[in-house]
Amino acid sequence: MELSIFAVEAAVSARCSSIEAMFSENTKKSGCIEVICGSMFSGKTEELLRRLRRAKIARQTVEIFKPTIDIRYDETDVVSHDKNAIASTPVDNSANILLLSSQVDVVGIDEAQFFDEGLVEVAQQLADQGVRVVIAGLDMDFRRQPFGPMPGLCAIADSVTKVHAVCVECGRLASYSFRRVQGDQQVMLGELNEYSPLCRTCYRKCSSPPQTEEIHSTI
C-alpha cells in the first residue's frame, strides 16, 4: 500500500523533531569550564560580562558570583574597570557557589583568584552536572607567582583565554601586574594608583633596585 505524501511528510517531520530534541537535550546536559585569565586591566571582567550577557539573550538561566572581599566598585555587582556592571551574589567561600547554583544553565565567577582552592572541585562538579562555568581571574600576583586556584582551574578548563593589557611604559602587550605601593601581602585591592600593567622587560626594569653610583674620594 502506497503512503500518501502527507504521511511521508509527517514521518520526516517527526524524525527531525526527534533528532532536534535529542540534540537539544545533549547540548543542555553538556557542561564546560571556560577560564579567562590575564593581568590587571586586561579586560577579563569585560569578556566575562560579554559572555554572560550573550547567555541571557539566549534566555539561559545565569547566576554570577564574586568574592565578598572585592568591594572596589560595588558590594554586590560585578563591575569592570570601564564601569560596566551586572548583578551578582557575593560569597565567602567556593562551597556556597555549589549550594546556590541549582537549576541554572550558566555560572559566572569573577575575581576567581581570591577564592579558596575548593573552587577547582566546585567548577568540576558544576560542569559534570551540565552547567557552563565561565571564570575570570588573575593568573599571577604582583610577584608573577601563580595566584590562588587559578592554576588548577586552567588545568581542568575546556578552554582558556589569555587576555593582555597594554604596558604603560612602552606600549607592548602586558602580562604582569606591577605593584607601585609598599606591601608584601599577596592580596591588596587596588586600581591604577596601586598597580600598573607591564610587559616582561619593563617589569624587570621596574622591579630592579635603583643603581647607585659609587663615589670614590681622592686624598
SS3 for the chain is CCCCHHHHHHHHHHHHHHHHHHHHHHHHHCCEEEEEEECCCCCHHHHHHHHHHHHHHCCCCEEEEEECCCCCCCCCCEECCCCCEECCEEECCHHHHHHCCCCCCEEEECCHHHCCCCHHHHHHHHHHCCCEEEEEEECECCCCCECCCHHHHHHHCCEEEEECEECCCCCCEECEEEECCCCCCCCCCCCCCCEEEECHHHHHHHHCCCCCCCCCCCC
- The answer, yes or no, to whether residue 143 has pLDDT greater than 70, is yes
- The answer, yes or no, to whether residue 114 has pLDDT greater than 50, is yes
Q: Which fold has domain 30-163?
A: Rossmann fold (3.40.50)
Domain boundaries, the chain: 30-163
Mean pLDDT score, 111-123: 96
The burial class, CB within 10 Å (0-12 / 13-18 / 19+), for 151 is middle
- The answer, yes or no, to whether residue 8 has pLDDT greater than 50, is no
pLDDT at 218: 41
pLDDT at 37: 97
- The answer, yes or no, to whether residue 213 has pLDDT greater than 70, is no
pLDDT at 210: 60
The winner for highest mean pLDDT among 11-20, 42-51, 74-83 is 42-51
pLDDT at 21: 46
pLDDT digits (tens, 9 = 90+) for 22-42: 434 444 568 999 999 999 999
Q: Which of the two residues, 132 and 75, has the higher pLDDT score?
A: 132
Answer for the pair 46, 161: CB distance below 8 angstroms, yes or no. Answer: no
Where residue 182 falls among pLDDT bands split at 50, 70, 90? confident
Per the residue annotation, which of 20, 25, 111, 194 is the catalytic one? 111
Q: Return phi, psi of residue 28, to 5°.
A: -65, -35
pLDDT at 167: 97
- The answer, yes or no, to whether residue 185 has pLDDT greater than 50, is yes
Q: What angle do CA 171, 173, 175 make, to 5 degrees?
A: 125
Rg (CA), the chain: 24
Q: Which of the two residues, 68 and 1, has the higher pLDDT score?
A: 68
Q: Return phi, psi of residue 105, to 5°.
A: -95, -35
Across 21-25, 138-142, 145-149, least confident range: 21-25
Distance of CA 34 to the CA centre of its chain: 8
Q: Is the pTM of this model over 0.95?
A: no
Mean pLDDT score, 204-217: 64
| 213 included as an active-site residue | no
pLDDT digits (tens, 9 = 90+) for 92-105: 999 999 989 989 99
Q: What angle do CA 167, 173, 179 make, to 5 degrees?
A: 40
Q: How many CB atoms lie within 10 A of CB 131?
A: 23
Instruction: In whole angstroms, give the CA distance from residue 30 to residue 132.
Output: 8
